Structure 1
Amino acid sequence: MKTIEITYHLDDIDTVAAQVLEHLNTKIVLFNGQMGAGKTTFISALLKAMQSNDVATSPTFSIVNEYSLPNDKVYHFDFYRVESIDEAYNFGIEDYLNSKHWLFMEWAERIEELLPTNSQTITITDLRDNKRSLKLTINTNNLTENSAMILQ
């Protein structure tokens, strides 16, 4: 495992999202952070970096939102209100996990036993005054030869 840590001002979120995107080596990204830390805001910036015209909105009540990319799509989950693994199965989580699309998951610890090992984690902490700390965990088992060289 390798971790990248970035402290940024919200004015720089688009630049930071583009940097983070370069270090993603899987399409399954887990977002951790307290309520209001800026997970959905950062997902919006990632969508922009991925050339999407969509703006992320919190899927707290819908559980999943879908966003379009030029040649793909992103499924954005918020498991905050999911109280059991059965609830996740009821809306077809296994179909999403078996898809080849991007999966951005907030509050994923609520379905931890279903999560694939090839995911990456982004943890966002609110530092006040419009500043955030971001930690990206890179599972080095997922790295291709080229991306391993980039990280060295």
Structure 2
Amino acid sequence: MKTIEFTYHIKDIDATASRVLGYLDAKTVLFNGNMGAGKTTFINALIKAMQSEDIATSPTFSIVNEYTLPNDKVYHFDFYRIESIDEAYSFGIEDYLNSNHWLFMEWSERIEELIPEDSQTITITHLNDNIRSLKLTVNTKHLTENEAMTVSKF
């Protein structure tokens, strides 16, 4: 796995999400970043790029939200309030993990031992009011020589 980086202005989030979508080859995507970094905002742009008519909202209290795609679903998790693996099992996490649908997970480190090996990670860093840095782990077979490090800048 390699990491590629996108630096984007918030007004270009939809175009950035479309580009990132082209690099996703795992249906489990982990979203890392500090509180307020823009994880849910990016997920909203990503499901829009996936042709969903739904609007992503933070599932902090519901733990999981479901979004409809033309031929699939996205389950969007926020494990911030999960205090143990037992809590994840109590709401049926294994059913979601075995579903073959997209799994977008915020605060996944709280259920780290349950994460599928073939997942990809997106780390978002808030650089200033309108600029974000996004780092994405990708399988090296999908990268060209020119994509080794930085993919885009605003």
Normalising TM by the smaller chain, what interval? over 0.9
Residues 73, 102 of structure 1: 8 Å contact kept: yes
Quote how far apart the aligned CAs of 1:139 are: 3.9
Quote how far apart the aligned CAs of 1:123 are: 0.1
Identity of aligned residues (%): 78
Supply the distance in 2 between the matched residues of 1:40 and 1:103 (Cα, whole angstroms). Answer: 13
Say whether 1:87 aligns with 2:79: no
TM-score by length of 2: 0.92
Residues 66, 76 of structure 1: 8 Å contact kept: yes
Within a 5 Å distance, the mapping from 1:103-118 to structure 2 comes to 103-118=103-118
List runs of 5+ in structure 1 lacking aligned partners. 141-147
Supply the distance in 2 between the matched residues of 1:68 and 1:117 (Cα, whole angstroms). Answer: 25
Supply the distance in 2 between the matched residues of 1:59 and 1:15 (Cα, whole angstroms). Answer: 24
Number of positions where the alignment pairs a residue of Structure 1 with one of Structure 2 = 144
- Of 110, 133, 143, the residue aligned with 1:151 is 143
Supply the distance in 1 between the matched residues of 2:4 and 2:25 (Cα, whole angstroms). Answer: 13
- Runs of 4+, deviation exceeding 2 Å: none
Deviations 1:103-140 (A, max 9, x none): 00000000001111100000000001310000001144
Residues 118, 139 of structure 1: 8 Å contact kept: no
Quote how far apart the aligned CAs of 1:3 are: 0.8
Within a 5 Å distance, the mapping from 1:6-17 to structure 2 comes to 6-17=6-17
List runs of 5+ in structure 2 lacking aligned partners. 145-154
- Aligned residue type for 2:143: L
Quote how far apart the aligned CAs of 1:67 are: 0.2
Q: Which residue of 2 aligns with 1:47?
A: 47
Supply the distance in 2 between the matched residues of 1:4 and 1:33 (Cα, whole angstroms). Answer: 16
- Aligned residue type for 1:121: T
RMSD value, Cα:
0.8
Supply the distance in 2 between the matched residues of 1:51 and 1:42 (Cα, whole angstroms). Answer: 14
